[in-house]
Chain A
Amino acid sequence: MVSMWSFPLLGGAGACYLIGCAVGLILGRWPLWANRFGYGLASLASLAVFLAGVLFLIDPQPQTGILFTTNFQWGLQMSIHLDAISAFFIVLLGLGGIAIGVYAGGYMRHFKQYSKRIPFLVAGFNLFWLAMLGVILANNIFGFLLCWEGMSLVSYLMVSFEHEKLEVRKSGFIYLITTHVGTAFLMGAFALLSANAGGSFSFDAIRAAQNIPAGSMIQSAIFICALIGFGTKAGIMPMHFWLPRAHPVAPGQVSASMSGIMLKMAIYGLLRVVSDLLLGGAAPPLWWGITIIVLGTASALLGALFALVETDLKRLLAFSSIENMGILFVCLGTAFIAQSLALPALTILAFCALLLHSLNHSIFKSLLFMGAGAIQHAAHTTNLEDMGGLIRYMPQTSVFMFIGCLASAGIPPFNGFASEWLMFQSVIGLIGHSQDLGGKIGATIILSALALTAAIATAAFLKVFGVAFLASPRKEKTAQATEAGRAMIRGIAIFAGLAAVLGIGSGAILWIISPVLKALTNAQSVALPVVWALPTGLSNTTLNVFSYVPVAILAPILIILLSWPLLRQYKPIRRVATWACGVKASSNTEYTALAFVKSLQQVFAGVIHEQQLIDTTYTLEPFVIKEQHYQQKREPFLSNSLMLRMKLEITKILDRVLFVQNGSVRLYLGYILLTLVALLIFSR
């Protein structure tokens, strides 16, 4: 009964976050101390959250129960509840909080000009984690919406940290509006759910009611509302446009926690609302899964493509987040399809992939964002073209970023590979199990799109590491970069270590997931897919195209073995300047981020629309060129110019409407008379 400790731990964690918030504000005059204590408390609280989740999951007979309930009129209560699904997500939350908290303690030191605002950021950070904890633990609609919107608002405030910059203000505002529209859809979904449970706001009552007829309009409406609402938060295309704007402009720890943890809240919400409350473990209609999987594949592929051609490091990572959220949606869609086709083994495999990749993505994406923050801190830029050679100036950061890049690219033996592998397996399983030709073809197309995604993502992260860390710096300021502070390195190191450990040890943590899978599928026992060997539960399926084992173990060994003789060969190392066809090699001759992907970009020119600006000055026109500047611009989806034009058009229309209130008292009287006469006539 170790899970009895979960509740006090969670209570303590909540209190700790609140104290952290208060401490941040109270120590406002001493930002350094506010930083140290505030983030320290956040880490401590997250540790408690993590332990609470783990204790709950390893308990064979956990206390699923309500922590507390406050009763108000009309169900305006805030009750808290812990079950396997929420336990898994609080493990994820806790892990993220520990590392990011440690990292953030060091991050703000150099922001001298913002010393007045740092205490507020500390307070906001603590509140943000508290709100996310509340989202996961909420056991009624009111509490959920409260925490959900609280999470959005606090993250908006944190995104607006450097609000002197116009770009930050704009991005923050777009984020705020988008997320609120998402919340409006969630309100719709919840209102429908609650009305079907007799107007009760309690999740328990909704779960117990289960009287929504399968395949009915109401059911579909709830699903669509939830999909749009949570999909907006998850950054699924075409609701993704806020994400590449908001994540890059936020401070390092904020973008790390938003990309790493907050996006997972959308996955949690979908699981909670659709799988748990709406379906209660029953099979969803087939088209739900298909919708999700199509949206997921599109997001994954396009996200990867946009990440590939991006030259801003943090924006690239944001696009990569879209890609990974797409992969998560593919897993979810596969699970739903498998559920509606009554394929329990495949369902479990897909859910397993979903949960594992949620965890893994939260680890490596937080790691990468923290690394990007460290670079921004040291080199004062997020533009890849300005970087280069950072491995010399920031050796530790570089190593950890290397691990992050590999994990994100899905290279074994890091954790990104483990979960993507399960994802591929489940999609392959889908091909095998499809009864009709259309299904098989569709699944095959999705599989090939995902394979392409993986390849593009690899290219993108190869670019990141190659351009940012290798060769020599392209800008003066980059050469002055120094290694990140100890606290930051520690935070990054925690996740880098986890990315490595979980890559090899994914199989070892699968048993922690099993209670979650049981809860999601309503199964008494689940046969876990075995990552280290042939998936036993699925041995009679076509899933076993090949196994993880040889790849995972042999690949690194092979690499080392192959490279060893090469390394041995050059015994006396001769140091000379790089041969560059006779001229002196300088940073000018390096591959730029743009050039690196130019050929790939040309292949996908139909999808990625680039604007090329070539500015040439001649010494003797048109023969002798003095200088040539090449610039490539890509307008984001819902581009700024499009938005501006929309704004102008809307403004024009609105200004015409404004005439109705033109200041003439006679006109106003006319409205009253007209209203009255109309009512008199129509009411006859």
Chain B
Amino acid sequence: MQPVQMVDISAILLLLSTCFLVVNRQLARGIVLLGLQSMLLSFIAVIVAATTGIQEIYIAALLTVIIKGVGATIVLGWVLRSAHTRIETNILSRGLSLAAVVALTFVGYSSVSPDLQVKTLFHTPNSLPIAISMVLIGVFIMITRKKALMTVIGLITIENGLFLFALSTTYGVPQFVELGIFLDVAISILMLGFFAFRINQMFDTLNVDILDELRG
């Protein structure tokens, strides 16, 4: 199999795993899915690194595994253990959620028309639209889920989409920018975990819908 095809298939797999995230209701399974997603992403990074021979991408892959694959899973698992609930209540039915995902994927595909394709080594038809779709679906997950935990998972999905985009178009951005991005992402995930923990502590629930005192 060509590296290009491998990236392409991995991207499609990423989209599929995101779809699973949307229909999934078990919080624990969500965390596992997220970890898988991150691993898949770092797999893509390794392929890109191996093909292009750019050393820094290995570092990026490693960082992805460490921060998103392992770090995020641990932090989220830690929050989950301190919470009471294991099951997420979805405000949309599975069918409707899937329909929305399809629509968002369509938006992703339609906004990147073929003539906009970037000339890269990996001229994959799918990775660019899927990256944008993943960003949109990530927000969709955050909208339709009530638990702070799933919100964080949605956010990390968005970050994964961004990383996919960076990898598949430009093999990553300049190193100092990349470093900064990773640092920011790491801190923001930590913060989100911390505040999800605080919410659980203070309100005794991970349900973000309780946070509606400030209005008007």
Contacts and interface: CB of A to CB of B under 8 A. Distances in A.
* A and B form one complex: yes
A670 B143 contact: yes
Given A658-B215, A676-B136, A666 B107 contact: no
A669 B138 CA distance: 11
Contacts of B142: 666, 669
Contacts of B216: 658, 661
A677 interface: yes
B136 A666 contact: no
A662 B143 contact: no
Q: Of A658, A663, A672, which is in contact with the most chain B CB atoms at under 10 Å from its CB?
A: A663
B104 interface: yes
B6 interface: no
A665 B211 CA distance: 8
B146 to A, nearest CB: 7
A673 interface: yes
A673 B143 contact: yes
B209 interface: yes
B212 A664 contact: yes
Interface in A627-684: 658, 661-667, 669-670, 672-673, 676-677, 680-681, 684
B208 A673 contact: no
A557 B171 CA distance: 107
B139 interface: yes
A205 to B, nearest CB: 48
A663 to B, nearest CB: 3
Contacts of B177: none
A666 B146 contact: yes
Contacts of B208: 665-666
Interface string B199-212: 00000000011011
Contacts of A662: 212, 215
Contacts of B140: 673
A672 B213 contact: no
Interface string B121-163: 0000000000000001001101111100001000000000000
B139 to A, nearest CB: 5
14 contacts: A661-B215, A661-B216, A663-B215, A664-B209, A666-B143, A666-B146, A669-B143, A670-B143, A672-B139, A673-B139, A677-B107, A680-B110, A681-B107, A681-B110
Interface residues of B, number: 22
Contacts of A673: 136, 139-140, 143
Contacts of B209: 664, 666
Contacts of A681: 107, 110
Chain A interface main SS type: helix
Contact of B212 (A663, A670, A680, A684): A663
A670 B136 CA distance: 11
Nearest to A676: B136
B111 interface: yes
Interface residues of A, number: 17
A669 B139 contact: yes
B214 interface: yes
Nearest to B140: A673
B18 to A, nearest CB: 15
Contacts of B145: 666
Q: Of B113, B212, B213, which is in contact with the most chain A CB atoms at under 10 Å from its CB?
A: B212
A662 B216 CA distance: 6
Contacts of B215: 658, 661-663
A50 B28 CA distance: 87
List 3 tightest A-B contacts by C-beta distance, closest first. Answer: A663-B212, A663-B215, A680-B111
A481 B141 CA distance: 79
Given A663-B212, A684-B110, A684-B111, 14 more contacts: A658-B215, A661-B215, A662-B212, A663-B211, A663-B213, A665-B151, A665-B211, A666-B146, A669-B143, A673-B143, A676-B136, A677-B107, A681-B107, A681-B110
A676 B209 CA distance: 23
Nearest to A673: B139
A680 B105 CA distance: 12
A263 to B, nearest CB: 41
Nearest to B141: A669
A662 B211 CA distance: 10
Contacts of B214: 663
Interface string A445-489: 000000000000000000000000000000000000000000000
Contacts of A661: 215-216
A358 B23 CA distance: 79
A669 B148 CA distance: 13
